[in-house]
Structure 1
């Protein structure tokens, strides 16, 4: 699998591309201490989470290569991903959007959270 982060999306992520941070492509489904959901859900919402470099995040056991570096993710969330994905800026609302080559839009509004000071 591969994630192409388009230039406009790279600009939005620039402040998180730091040698002291790792990026997670989180499928926020209620699993793990970083979840905003709190309980299991059927919602398919991806978000990007910045954590301290090397932070132990046992749920994020797989690596996804991209043109801006490696994202860690929960291995079982592959079923919701495509082999080729793009992170773009939606021209209408200026939000990040995750799109798959086969599935189309995977998450229309990808949020970005910096938990590097806490996680």
Structure 2
């Protein structure tokens, strides 16, 4: 059986995301490839780009069929985007750049992960 992906957030990133995860809101780790309602750029040919998307409890998350455990609760992602993800993922806040960095046990995956709050999310 293959090892499952898991994600940990450092304290700074948790402080940013936790208040947004209220009222049943869900957290997505969205591969920004232009597929699905929460990915608009489709930069896959140019670079690997991810974003954290906060969506409402009843939002359409059918494109995000996989779930990974995290210290903020379950995080949904597009199954095929797992090929870009290691098994032990970590999201940390880069204070110098004021950006969230996503890395795994071997390398940096994305040095500027945006946080998007969808209209479906409870504000």
TM-score (norm 1): 0.89
Deviation at 1:15, TM superposition (A): 2.3
* Structure 2: gaps spanning 5 or more residues: none
Are 1:91 and 2:118 counterparts? Answer: no
Q: Measure the CA separation in 1 of the matches of 2:72 and 2:23.
A: 12
Are 1:53 and 2:57 counterparts? Answer: yes
CA deviations on 1:39-90 (whole Å, 9 max, x unpaired) are 5632210100011113222110000110110110000000000000100001
Q: Measure the CA separation in 2 of the matches of 1:117 and 1:55.
A: 6
Q: 1:27 aligns with which of 23, 26, 31?
A: 31
Q: Which has the higher strand share?
A: 1
RMSD: 1.5
Contact 2:59 2:120 in 1 (8 A): no
TM-score (norm 2): 0.87
Give structure 1 regions of 4+ aligned residues with deviation exceeding 4 angstroms: none
**Structure 2 partner of 1:8:** 12
**Structure 1 partner of 2:111:** 108
CA deviations on 1:21-50 (whole Å, 9 max, x unpaired) are 00100000111122121x563221010001
